[in-house]
């Protein structure tokens, strides 16, 4: 049984975390440096952005965890350390400073940065803050770490669950940042996950790589895939279960717990899209296969016209069909049905590819809620998929019009 618990990345045994303002960001009230530490050696796995322009921290992290292990995660906000001539050197220096503060090897550090692209990152404030940050790490530090990785986010994003593997109680938790430049594929945000479940690096990588296909790769805010996106998982085995080194019942239990955390973070990221007022979820059922279901769900969520209609609480279902039509999916449009669903009810607006009579008043009431499901039925098969996004508002342009300045 999977149960939601408190603690974020510190819910699992043997993990400490914290976050501080070190001086990268001008606003002293905002934390800009976070640290997560495993008191035990841990299996490590990560997935990275598909953008060909990759931040230096990703390159260094990929090298550091090539052996499948890590002990710490350090992340700064306010500066992406991307497209800088000395970016790799700075990222490596962050690993060295973190290692010195924690008494571990630099190669055991995952490093990440988020913020403005193309702006040199001065490591001086990071160097000054790391010793005290490391000394102040605690079992209650997940929230501070979550705050320290935020950029344009308006809400902290953390969650944890407890679950059983082979009769042994385990815990898994995560924190995330993501508000703008959010678009499939991989990974479209920064996500740090920790667990005390014992699992081999090989199986941890398999679990993460499998899970993202139906979670983080199904989130879109604005169609821009960032340069610094990464999802990382550390598993230190402190729960004491038999090591998961092959597929089976224990691996399935781990996958279920991981998916519970990642879906929750997906929804939080989508709901906190820059300028967003509504979380949009598109569910597709009856597709020919999963591939086509995913293509359609993504297309609907990514449509600027659909997103704008949802902002205006306008039941313009034709825009949904339009997005399905240009998606490239194999679909019989004469079988398509569309309904809008929220806490205020459900209303069918399209059946067999054509409009039907419906109450505009009820539709408006349903679409005024802050969480809306666009339910698409296809009638082509049994496959289904879900994607998450948000509405497109005036504030998105305001935020990004002067993001750098």
Query: Is the omega angle on the peptide bond into residue 169 within 30 degrees of 0, that is, cis?
Result: no
Asked whether 271 and 369 are in contact (CB, 8 A), the reply is no
Strand partners, 47: 231
Q: Residue 86 corresponds to which tokens in the numbers above?
A: 């000395």
Q: In angstroms, rounded to a whole number, what is the distance separating the alpha carbons of residues 111 and 56?
A: 9
Q: What is the DSSP letter of 49?
A: -
Give the DSSP H/E element, type plus range, for residue 383. Answer: strand 383-390
Asked whether 76 and 111 are in contact (CB, 8 A), the reply is no
Give the DSSP H/E element, type plus range, for residue 25. Answer: none
Question: Which residues are catalytically annotated?
Answer: 188
How does strand 109-116 pair with strand 337-342? unpaired
Rg (the chain; Cα; Å): 22
Q: Which residues contact 357 (CB under 8 A, 6 or more apart)?
A: none
DSSP-based three-state secondary structure for 126: helix
Asked whether 340 and 349 are in contact (CB, 8 A), the reply is yes
Question: CB atoms < 10 A from the CB of 40, how many?
Answer: 14
Give the DSSP H/E element, type plus range, for residue 195. Answer: strand 190-195
Q: In angstroms, rounded to a whole number, what is the distance separating the alpha carbons of residues 85 and 316?
A: 48
| Inter-helix orientation angle 318-325/304-311, to 10° | 160
């Amino acid at each position: 049984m999977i149960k939601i618990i408190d603690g974020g990345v510190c819910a699992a045994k043997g993990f400490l975390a914290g976050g501080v303002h070190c001086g990268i960001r001008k606003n002293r009230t905002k934390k800009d440096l976070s640290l997560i530490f495993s008191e035990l050696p841990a299996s490590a796995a990560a997935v990275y952005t598909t953008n060909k322009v990759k931040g230096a921290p990703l390159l260094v992290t990929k090298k550091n965890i090539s052996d499948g292990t890590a002990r710490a995660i350090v992340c700064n906000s306010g500066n992406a350390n991307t497209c800088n001539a000395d970016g790799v050197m700075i990222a490596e220096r962050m690993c060295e400073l973190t290692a010195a503060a924690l008494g571990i090897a630099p190669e055991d550090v995952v490093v990440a940065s988020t913020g403005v692209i193309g702006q040199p990152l001065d490591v001086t404030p990071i160097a000054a803050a790391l010793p005290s940050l490391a000394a102040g790490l605690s079992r209650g530090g997940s929230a501070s770490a979550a705050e320290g990785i935020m950029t344009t986010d308006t809400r902290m994003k953390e969650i944890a669950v407890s679950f059983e593997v082979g009769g042994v109680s385990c815990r898994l938790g995560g924190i995330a940042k993501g508000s703008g430049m959010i678009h499939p594929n991989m990974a479209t945000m920064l996500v740090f996950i920790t667990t005390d479940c014992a699992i081999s690096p090989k199986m941890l990588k398999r679990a993460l790589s499998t899970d993202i296909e139906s979670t983080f790769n199904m989130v879109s805010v604005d169609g821009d895939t960032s340069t610094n996106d990464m999802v990382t998982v550390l598993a230190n085995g402190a729960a004491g279960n038999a090591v998961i080194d092959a597929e089976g019942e224990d691996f399935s239990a781990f996958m279920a717990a991981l998916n519970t955390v990642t879906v929750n973070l997906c929804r939080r990221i989508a709901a906190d899209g820059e300028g967003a007022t509504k979380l949009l979820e598109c569910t597709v059922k009856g597709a020919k296969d999963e591939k086509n279901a995913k293509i359609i769900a993504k297309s609907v969520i990514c449509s600027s016209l659909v997103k704008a209609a949802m902002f205006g609480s306008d039941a313009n279902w034709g825009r949904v069909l339009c997005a399905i039509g240009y998606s490239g999916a194999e679909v019989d449009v004469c079988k398509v049905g569309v309904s809008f669903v929220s806490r205020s009810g459900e209303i069918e607006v399209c059946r067999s590819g054509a409009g039907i009579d419906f109450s505009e008043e009820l539709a408006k009431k349903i679409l005024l809620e802050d969480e809306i499901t666009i339910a698409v039925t296809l009638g082509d098969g049994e496959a289904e998929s879900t994607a998450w996004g948000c509405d497109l508002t005036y504030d998105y342009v305001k935020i990004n019009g002067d993001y750098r300045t």
